[in-house]
Amino acid sequence: MGKNIDKDRQNKTVLFDALKNHLSNRVVRFDVPGHKGGRGNKEFRDFIGLDAMQMDVNSMKPLDNLCHPTSVIKEAQDIAAEAFGAKEAYFMVSGTTGAVQAMIMATCKAGDKIIIPRNVHRSAINAMVICGAIPVYINPGLNKKLGISLGMSINDVKKAIHENPDAKAILVNNPTYYGICSDLKSIVKLAHENNMLVLVDEAHGAHFSFDDNLPISGMAAGADMAAISMHKTGGSLTQSSILLSGERINADYVRQIINLTQTTSSSYLLMTSLDVARKNLAINGKELFEKTVKFAEYARNEINKLGGYYAYGKELIDGDSVYDFDTTKLSVYTKDIGLAGIEVYDILRDDYEIQIEFGDLGNILAIISAGDRGLEIERLISSLAEIKRLYSKDSTGMFDHEYINPDVVLPPQKAFYSEKEMVPIKESAGKISGEFVMAYPPGIPILAPGERITEEIINYIEYAKEKGCLLTGTEDMHVEKINVVLE
């Protein structure tokens, strides 16, 4: 948590309180939204509740305005900045996608280079499509057995800085979807010595600021900006996130950048959920995440006793591309029982009514939090045991890796907006992709605009489709064809 925390201040929920006060005044509604506190949409009101519908209000003087906050939203953001150890905090109602895009667009203009790991979320490459920044990709390490990409090696970062001294920023995933963390403090030191900013995609690390036994947070490591998915592990509503910035960043310029793409009709349900979730983390976070780690460690140990599965943890740490590991993550390798992660994901949902976060070609990820119950953890473990008993088979011939080094030919913006033609994916080898192909979740592109399509990539896409992965990104909704750059 941020230094010099004022617990009395962190107990406040100024935005939430202002909204409750506004509702208690029973103000007559002649503004939007048109459902008028739920009276105009009774079926939905009866389903989600009257309180939720009445909280769905528009910006007004007593409730401030997210586009230009000067009162209760400003104070709520300032309290959040203190909780996370940042100079500034910005409430985001466009998710961490919007926060990642704002980081890149606030630090890079058209033609500027940004050093970036290739296993980024699509939002980072989308930002480059929009603003025209040029990616300098660092290929992450690969754990060949698990088929997962790792963090950024310090030597690779040094090499990228040496070869691109004009780069404006370095973006780091902290942690990856699977819980892998890079040596963030060393990356920050290197970047700042070379007049570069550090941007942290901390979508899966909102909890890092509130328990010293977890990996270091972006702000604590000295990063310049960090995008935090409060809705993932912080307890707020889906689509609500926080963008943080430090001393080197012009906060008012960042707000201008956010306002280029974020809605002017910001949801008070989302914003007040951020306000209350921040209070809960600041006051109860250490206790909550200690409980989370206990659940995850118990599950990890029990799943490993089953045989066939491998729930991995801190033993992966090597001091470099796996500098640390987020022990709240329950990542499980499944291929040794002859099933792709996506197959286990489907069986858990369809046969056992258990919804986990995602499955890829070799792993599953279950998100654990203090909101879970012991009986549910046991149910997951016993279901995995039964799946192994009923469905396991010989793993020979299964796809043996997850990450493919890209051949980047054109900048993302140039490729995306170029003249293109649509061709069958099976016949696209050798051509330059004009769009994305990715499995969602996690939303890390298999192909991004500007990259050369290879037989290896085509085989990967076909195998992912065969196993039941949800592929997205192409204009063709069936993902049978792909737009390629006319050369």
Interval 320-329: pLDDT, tens: 999 999 999 9
- What is the pLDDT confidence band of residue 49, given thresholds at 50, 70 and 90? very high
Q: What local confidence, expressed as pLDDT, does residue 442 receive?
A: 79
Q: Where are the alpha helices (DSSP H) in 39-111?
A: 42-48, 50-55, 72-84, 95-107
Q: What local confidence, expressed as pLDDT, does residue 2 receive?
A: 54
- What is the pLDDT confidence band of residue 268, given thresholds at 50, 70 and 90? very high
Inter-residue contact 141 to 118 (CB < 8 Å): no
Q: Model confidence over 164-216: pLDDT tens digits?
A: 999 999 999 999 999 999 999 999 999 999 999 999 999 999 999 999 999 99
- What is the pLDDT confidence band of residue 222, given thresholds at 50, 70 and 90? very high
Q: How far apart are CA 289 and CA 211, in angstroms?
A: 7
Q: Is the pLDDT of residue 18 over 70?
A: yes
Q: What local confidence, expressed as pLDDT, does residue 153 receive?
A: 95
What DSSP line would sit under 366-381, residue for residue? EE--TTS-HHHHHHHH
Surface-to-core class of residue 280, CB atoms within 10 Å of its CB (0-12 exposed, 13-18 middle, 19+ buried) = middle
Cis status, amide bond into 117, omega within 30 of 0: no
Q: How far apart are CA 93 and CA 260, in angstroms?
A: 13
User: CA-CA distances (angstroms) from residue 90 to 71, 172, 298?
Assistant: 14, 20, 36
Measured at the alpha carbon of residue 250, what is the angle toward residues 248 and 414, in degrees to the nearest 5? Answer: 95
Q: What local confidence, expressed as pLDDT, does residue 427 receive?
A: 96
The one-character DSSP state at 314 is G
Buried b (16+ CB within 10 A) or exposed e, 204-222: bbbbbbbbeebbbbbbbbb
Residue with tokens 């040596």: 183
Q: Which residues pair with 200 in a beta bridge?
A: 172, 226
Q: Which residues contact 193 (CB under 8 A, 6 or more apart)?
A: none
When pLDDT is averaged across residues 43-54 and rounded to a whole number, the result is 96
Q: What local confidence, expressed as pLDDT, does residue 401 receive?
A: 62
- What is the pLDDT confidence band of residue 36, given thresholds at 50, 70 and 90? very high
Q: Model confidence over 457-482: pLDDT tens digits?
A: 999 999 889 888 899 999 999 999 99
**Average predicted confidence (pLDDT) for the chain:** 95
Measured at the alpha carbon of residue 397, what is the angle toward residues 395 and 402, in degrees to the nearest 5? Answer: 90
Q: Which CATH entry fits the domain spanning 412-485: 3.30.70.360, 3.30.70.20, 3.90.105.10, 3.40.50.300?
A: 3.90.105.10
Q: Which residues contact 350 (CB under 8 A, 6 or more apart)?
A: none
What percentage of the chain carries pLDDT values higher than 70? 98
Expressed in angstroms, the distance from the first to the final Cα of the chain is: 52
Q: What local confidence, expressed as pLDDT, does residue 439 receive?
A: 84
Domain ranges of the chain: 285-391, 412-485
Q: Model confidence over 447-460: pLDDT tens digits?
A: 999 999 999 999 99
Q: Where are the alpha helices (DSSP H) in 335-424?
A: 341-352, 374-391, 412-416
Residue 181 CB neighbours (<10 A):
24
Instruction: Assign 3-class secondary structure to 444-474.
Output: CEEECCCEECCHHHHHHHHHHHHHCCCEECC
Token pair, residue 166, equals 């004009």
When pLDDT is averaged across residues 385-407 and rounded to a whole number, the result is 85
Is it true that 285-391 and 412-485 share their CATH fold? Answer: no
Q: What local confidence, expressed as pLDDT, does residue 464 receive?
A: 87
Question: For residue 237, what is the enclosing H or E element?
Answer: none
When pLDDT is averaged across residues 254-264 and rounded to a whole number, the result is 97
Q: What local confidence, expressed as pLDDT, does residue 121 receive?
A: 92
Surface-to-core class of residue 30, CB atoms within 10 Å of its CB (0-12 exposed, 13-18 middle, 19+ buried) = exposed
Q: How many Å separate Cα 39 from the centre of its chain?
A: 36
What percentage of the chain carries pLDDT values higher than 90? 90
From the list 104, 101, 111, 105, the residue with the least C-alpha distance to 164 is 111
Q: What local confidence, expressed as pLDDT, does residue 400 receive?
A: 67
When pLDDT is averaged across residues 230-254 and rounded to a whole number, the result is 97
User: CA-CA distances (angstroms) from residue 369 to 169, 207, 285, 315?
Assistant: 33, 10, 11, 22
Architecture per CATH, 285-391: Alpha-Beta Complex (3.90)
Residue 6 CB neighbours (<10 A):
12
Q: Model confidence over 336-367: pLDDT tens digits?
A: 999 999 999 999 999 999 999 999 989 999 99
When pLDDT is averaged across residues 16-32 and rounded to a whole number, the result is 95
Measured at the alpha carbon of residue 219, what is the angle toward residues 216 and 224, in degrees to the nearest 5? Answer: 130
Q: What local confidence, expressed as pLDDT, does residue 352 receive?
A: 98
Residue with tokens 């754990």: 143
Q: Model confidence over 277-331: pLDDT tens digits?
A: 999 999 999 999 999 999 999 999 999 999 999 999 999 999 999 999 999 999 9
- What is the pLDDT confidence band of residue 3, given thresholds at 50, 70 and 90? low
Q: Is the pLDDT of residue 4 over 80?
A: no
Report which residue type is found at 374: G
- Relative to beta strand 113-117, strand 169-173 is parallel
Inter-residue contact 11 to 283 (CB < 8 Å): yes
Indicate the SS3 state at residue 421: strand
Q: Which of 2-6, 410-414, 427-431, 457-461 has the lowest mean pLDDT?
A: 2-6
